[in-house]
Amino acid sequence: MNKYLIKPGTKVNLSKLDPDDKGDFEGGKKEGKEELKNLNLRLQELQELLYAEHKHTLLIVLQGIDTAGKDGTINHVFEGVNPQGVHVVSFKVPSQEELDHDYLWRIHKQTPRKGEIGIFNRSHYEDVLVVRIHSLAPEEVWKKRFDHINAFENMLVEEGVAILKFFLYIDKDEQKERFQARLDDPTKHWKFNPGDLQERERWPEYIQAYEDVLSKTSTKCAPWYVIPSNRKWYRNLVVAETIIKTLEGFDMKYPEADWKPEEIVIV
């Protein structure tokens, strides 16, 4: 996991990272899926403990270019986890009400409560990605947002929220295959938007924007992980292991009852 961590102050060059990497894992897709089942069980245990103890909070941020697998990661990594303790938010184009506030307003009110795992499918980082590429705000405006975001996340951490940020990294050829798969399958047509091809033409701009995000906002308290995501099964393994390691680090315990179980008689 640590090999995918972006250390604070690192200048990121995505061309030097391999989206097809599978690390030291010696198995293939079949073995990876079997291992994920074990991780799912462990994550279920830890999520229940997190919810019961009601002391800690985990926020997971998922970012990636179109078809990188944000939805798939959520579906597979959290399979079997009690939805009562997981809060998923997908940030779309801002509503008029949201535009009438500062850009972090809609983000802050969706942060998870104690005992919850919150998952952002896209996030506040759209305001230094899409906003930048489509010139929705002047450069002098969106450039300041790196510092805003770092301060915002630092505040959340100081208030007891642990933050994990995953950039799901695929290459352009893999994106082409995934777009084609959506076109070939009528049940996936709803996931395809012809406008996505216009965004694909701006691939170099998105890569540059993501490199800046990763370089400027991976901090000690809220680190970025660049997850090789050409292999979906390996992507899921790394994300699941990182989440589990973080939850285990909370050193959680089930709360003790304020009554004596031995004195309870059920008739």
* Residue 171 confidence (pLDDT): 97
Instruction: Say what percent of the chain tops pLDDT 70.
Output: 100
Instruction: Indicate the pLDDT class of residue 25, thresholds 50, 70 and 90.
Output: confident
* Residue 199 confidence (pLDDT): 93
Task: Look up the pTM and report it.
Answer: 0.95
pLDDT tens digits for range 134-176: 999 999 999 999 999 999 999 999 999 999 999 999 999 999 9
Q: What is the residue type of 170?
A: I
Beta-ladder partners of 89: 120
pLDDT tens digits for range 185-194: 999 999 998 9
Sign of CA dihedral 185, 191, 195, 200: negative
Radius of gyration of the CA atoms of the chain, in A:
20
Range among 93-97, 214-218, 257-261 with highest mean pLDDT value: 214-218
pLDDT tens digits for range 40-90: 999 999 999 999 999 999 999 999 999 999 999 999 999 999 999 999 999
The full set of domains in the chain, from first to last, is: 2-254 (3.40.50.300)
Size of the chain in residues: 267
In Å, the largest CA–CA distance within the chain is 71
Per-residue pLDDT for 240 more than 80? yes
Question: What's the rounded Cα separation, in Å, for the pair 106 and 216?
Answer: 22
| SS3 readout for the chain | CHHHEECCCCCCCHHHCCCCCCCCCCCCHHHHHHHHHHHHHHHHHHHHHHHHHCCCEEEEEEEECCCCCHHHHHHHHCCCCCHHHEEEEECCCCCHHHHCCCCCHHHHCCCCCCCCEEEEECCHHHHHCHHHHCCCCCHHHHCCHHHHHHHHHHHHHHCCEEEEEEEEECCHHHHHHHHHHHHHCHHHHHHCCCHHHHHHCCHHHHHHHHHHHHHHHCCCCCCEEEEECCCHHHHHHHHHHHHHHHHHCCCCCCCCCCCCHHHCCCC
